[in-house]
Every structure is written in C-alpha cells, then in structure tokens.
Amino acid sequence: MSVKLNIDESVLDYRKGKVVVEVSGNTVGECLDYIVKRRSTLKKAIFDENGNMCLGNLVRVNGEFIYSNALAKSVKDGDEIEIIKFTGG
C-alpha cells in the first residue's frame, strides 16, 4: 500500500522545504511511524515526547482536516496525508 505524505515546511524546524514521500500504513499514525523510522530527524517536528502530535500540527487526509484522534484515522492506497502548522487566525 502506498500513501503520499506531505509535511509542510512550516512544521519543520530547519525550513529546507517541505517533505513529500510515499509511506506505508493503515492509519495516519502508522504512516507517520513509517517515516520517522526512516528519517529520525522528523520525529521531533511531528511528535512530542509522549508520542502525541506536536501542539499546533494539523492533519488533513485527502484535503479534509482530521481534528479528533487524527493518528487513528484509517487510510488506504492512494490517499494523501498532509501535516501543516496551525498559524492562528
């Protein structure tokens, strides 16, 4: 299974542009675990020390914001996950 993961540069500390990769998993959480196992430098930008999404990170799946229990949201082949930073407003 292949899911497209797009991590916006606003989430990343080093601001070298966004990350767009193909990942595997049945949930948003599994897909994020997949990428941090391969790119450990992303872990601090995505998760806090308790393994929860960092405060201010928002998740969209196929363009739809997921507010409640985003890590448990099911995904399927061809879906697109986007992680962006809430900037207020």
User: For 49-72, how does the pLDDT look when each residue is reduced to its tens digit (9 = 90+)?
Assistant: 998 899 899 999 999 999 889 999
Q: Which residues pair with 23 in a beta bridge?
A: 3
pLDDT of residue 89: 60
Domain with residue 72: its CATH number is: 3.10.20.30
pTM score: 0.86
Helix or strand or coil: residue 84? strand
Q: For the chain, what is the domain count? A: 1
pLDDT band at 76 (very low <50, low <70, confident <90, very high): very high
For 24, the domain range is 3-85
**Tens digits of residue pLDDT in 14-32:** 556 778 899 999 999 999 9
Q: How many CB atoms lie within 10 A of CB 62?
A: 13
